[in-house]
Amino acid sequence: MIKTQGLTRRFGDFTAVREVSFELQEGETLALIGPSGCGKTTTLKMLNRLITPTAGKVWVNGQDISQQPVVQLRRQMGYVIQDMGLFPHYTVAENIAVVPRLLGWETGKIKTRTGALLEQLGLDTGAFAQKYPHELSGGQQQRVGIARALAANPPIVLMDEPFGALDPLTRQQIRRDFMELEELRSKTTIMVTHDIEEAFEMGSLICLLNRGEVQQLAPPEALLQSPANDFVADFVAEKAAQLELRSAKLRDIFSELPEVPPLQGTALTLSPTLPLLRAIYRLAKARAEHPLGATTYQGQQRYFTLPILIEAFKNNLQSWAN
Amino acid sequence: MGELITFFSDNQEKVMEQVLEHIGLTFISLLLAAVIAIPAGIFITRRPRLSGGVLAFTGILQTIPSIALLGFLIPILGIGLKPAIFALFLYALLPILRNTYTGISEVDAAVKEAALGIGLSKGQLLRQVELPLALPVIFAGLRTATVINVGVATLAAYIGAGGLGEFIFGGIALNNATMILAGALPAALLAIIFDQLLALLQNANARKLSKAGKPLLLIIPLLSSAYFWPQAYAPGWSAGFPPEFMGRPDGYQKVVDTYGVDFTTTILNNALMYKAVYEGEVDVISGYATDGRVEAYRLRQLEDDRHAFPPYYCAPIMQKKLTEENKKLTDVLNLLSGRINDSVMTVLNYRVDFDKISPGQVAQDFLKAEGLWQPDQKEGGETLIIGSKIFTEQYILVELFSQLINGYTDYDVDTRPGLGGTKICFDALRNGEIDLYPEYTGTGLQVLLDPPQDTLERIITQPDAVYRYVSREFEAQYGLQWLAPLGFNNTYALMMREAQAESLNIKSISDLIRQQ
């Protein structure tokens, strides 16, 4: 889907990014993380050519992006930034419609799409479509920012600290709503964050950078289990416990779950790859009406209740800690 | 107020013409400045290294005093519309350029990054994001430039480009408050009206502003063309006259009444009109007979064959009281009596205007040649203030008087040369703000006394009779004393280029009419 090879950027004598290479498949999310000035934002901006690489190449669907017209390239990549950058003289609806309009969509189609996106991101179309950005809260503005990035249904989404400017509570809510977006499943997302928990929660791959160089490029759990060097170990050490939780998958404790016969009531089916905490959250949210969870693993269907799940998780946490 | 209304109704056509010229001057220059400064402002946001230099340069232009700037432009662009537009254009550049630059630079960096990131081209970024967001600031710049231009455009009258400054300068020269107001009031109104209209636009949001932009594109050129509406009809000889001549009873009106001649007049300042006629910008001017430039620019004085102008013999005038208190002072000044004839005065003027010798030096050389010069008496006496009008001859006369008084009496002389016009000198003398100044008999007769018509007709051809009349009347009416005439007659004279006069065989003002 998207691939980089030896991506390097120098500013004068200073090398901001050195030899960054990765490859992402459709539906994967790469979290670029590292301390300030590690080159994560520079790396991201080389993907849509806001910054020109000094060396190295980027391919999207096998095509070298330096050979493509830059404007067309960017219109196929959603772009979300920390400061939102909504156009202050455009209404919410006009902001979301910018790229579809540039692509020459019909008015009716634009309107339908805008309405659908607003609803999906939890903003009431009637109340928000005609408002101007300054009339919105920070969280609402960022939802509009995300809607604008997704409006033309780009296969790739680039996000530069998308939730960084928000307070922790709002940040968590938007992150959840964002991750629950159905259409995101098929998109390839590359995000920059300085929040390691966020990276672990959202990323299917983590790219940890320091001084412009990749320290480790691996799935979240690998950073904990087999850090590539001391820097990686130190970087994750402080929050190891939380990160363990975030990276834990339901399937890790699958064997602990009892095999029970189908019970009465509605079952909630969860993907075994989802992080455990999210699963617990969802179950807790649904506890009142949906006392059941169900999952499929290696062809077996297993049912569980919330207390059983939490018990299984505790047992595992102890074994991981040893 | 009543006088002002009368003035407006008497000069309806002229007022209308000046207002249109004024609007035209303001908007032609504004249009030019906008066409240059807005793209330039955008350009320097793309080349930040240039921005400091460009803004500093336009800033320096802004600090040049407007009169001086017009002065610089005359040798290059001549007089009239061109230098006026160019000067106004320069003044309008800075506010528009600076505001365009500021407006565009101040667009939130995040908004620009997001716009590029989601796939706007650079042109789309400019048109859809940067310009709409910068528009209120750019409009504020246009608004500042408009108000500056309405103000500075009054100075255009100094170099013959017309506008409401004609009334203002005429009024100042003649100390006629009504006339000054007749120019100043419409100018102030224009400034307020344009300012408020643009304020409305500036406060409208960007969306409405972009809609208003299109009609504006039509209106500004239309307003610019206003300058040329009054010029569609223009009869007779083209003439350049200073504001004072236009307003004096013995000036323009007298020539028109006496000869029935028709001119298309351009208002020019004293100092510029000789050059203007020499360079063919106008064909006729109202020069002074003793001016050094008459010779230098090869101008022909037209004979005043029907005596429109009285004789203008020059003499110092002062408070009667002062001559009685200090007989010595009168005697000292009378040393000059009859010593300066027309050609001597012309030479003195020439030395200042063309040899660029200071009036003080010229005066000293003359006094030495005449054996009248004495070194300065001791300091610390009473102060005597000598005034003058604003042309070369008067500057020289002030120096002659002051060097004599310094040399022969223990007065300390203070000079106030270059007062704006006859009325200003005269009022200053009566109020005791100056103690003496050189005046001309004809001016005293017609500008300051305005005698009955039959008296005027009886004495106008006899210099001695005019002198006796003004001496007597000044003493009786104002308590002012005319001292002995210096000897020269600096009459008003219509003048043309020698070559043109020769080829058309024009010797007198009557000939001028025949060639009309």
Distance, CA of B494 to CA of B71 (rounded, Å): 24
A181: its two tokens: 């977006």
Dihedral sign, Cα of residue B419, residue B420, residue B422, residue B427: negative
Instruction: Work out the mean pLDDT of chain B and round it to a whole number.
Output: 87
Angle between helix B177-203 and helix B165-173 axes, rounded to 10 deg: 150
Residues 6+ apart with CB under 8 A from B256: B262, B263
B306: its two tokens: 């029907």
CB contact under 8 A, B119 and A74: yes
According to DSSP, residue B411 is labeled: P
**Interface residue B121 vs chain A (CB under 8 A):** yes
What per-residue confidence (pLDDT) applies to B325?
Answer: 83
Distance, CA of B399 to CA of B336 (rounded, Å): 12
Asked if B8 contacts B167 with a C-beta cutoff of 8 angstroms, the reply is no
CB contact under 8 A, A50 and B132: no
What per-residue confidence (pLDDT) applies to A221?
Answer: 81
Chain A hits for B114, Cβ within 8 Å: 79, 81, 84-86, 145
What residue in B sits closest to A81 (Cα-Cα)?
Answer: B114
pLDDT at A3 over 90: yes
Using pLDDT thresholds of 50, 70 and 90, give the confidence band for residue B44: very high
Using pLDDT thresholds of 50, 70 and 90, give the confidence band for residue A290: very low
Asked if B172 contacts B178 with a C-beta cutoff of 8 angstroms, the reply is no
What residue in A sits closest to B124 (Cα-Cα)?
Answer: A102
pLDDT at A253 over 70: no
What per-residue confidence (pLDDT) applies to A271?
Answer: 57
What per-residue confidence (pLDDT) applies to B248?
Answer: 81
Residue of A104, A54, A322 lying closest to A212 (CA atoms): A54
Asked if A253 contacts A211 with a C-beta cutoff of 8 angstroms, the reply is no
A60: its two tokens: 């999207």
| Interface mutation vs chain A, best among B108, B112, B118, most A CBs within 10 Å | B118
**Interface residue A72 vs chain B (CB under 8 A):** yes
- Helix, strand and coil in chain B, % to nearest 5: 65, 10, 20
Of B111, B117, B207, Cβ closest to residue A74: B117
What residue in B sits closest to A147 (Cα-Cα)?
Answer: B118
Please give the helix or strand (H or E) that residue B197 lies within, else none: helix B177-203
Number of C-beta neighbours around residue A208 at 10 A? 27
A78: its two tokens: 């959603």
pLDDT digits (tens, 9 = 90+) for B250-279: 888 888 888 887 788 888 877 788 888 888
pLDDT at B7 over 90: no
Looking at A67-71, A174-178, A219-223, B218-222, which range is the least confident one? B218-222
Using pLDDT thresholds of 50, 70 and 90, give the confidence band for residue A60: very high
> In B, residues 186-225, which contact A (CB 8 Å cutoff)?
205-207
**Interface residue A46 vs chain B (CB under 8 A):** no
For residue B437, the SS3 value is strand
ipTM of model:
0.77
B143: its two tokens: 């608004």
Chain B hits for A81, Cβ within 8 Å: 110, 113-114, 117
For residue B254, the SS3 value is helix
Distance, CA of A185 to CA of A116 (rounded, Å): 17
pLDDT digits (tens, 9 = 90+) for B209-228: 666 666 777 777 777 777 77
According to DSSP, residue B230 is labeled: G
Looking at B210-219, B453-462, B501-510, which range is the least confident one? B210-219
What per-residue confidence (pLDDT) applies to B121?
Answer: 92
CA distance B273 to chain A (A): 55
What are the phi and psi torsion angles at B446 (to 5°)? -100, -35
What per-residue confidence (pLDDT) applies to B276?
Answer: 84
What per-residue confidence (pLDDT) applies to A288?
Answer: 44
What per-residue confidence (pLDDT) applies to B213?
Answer: 67
Chain A hits for B117, Cβ within 8 Å: 48, 50, 74, 79, 81, 85, 158
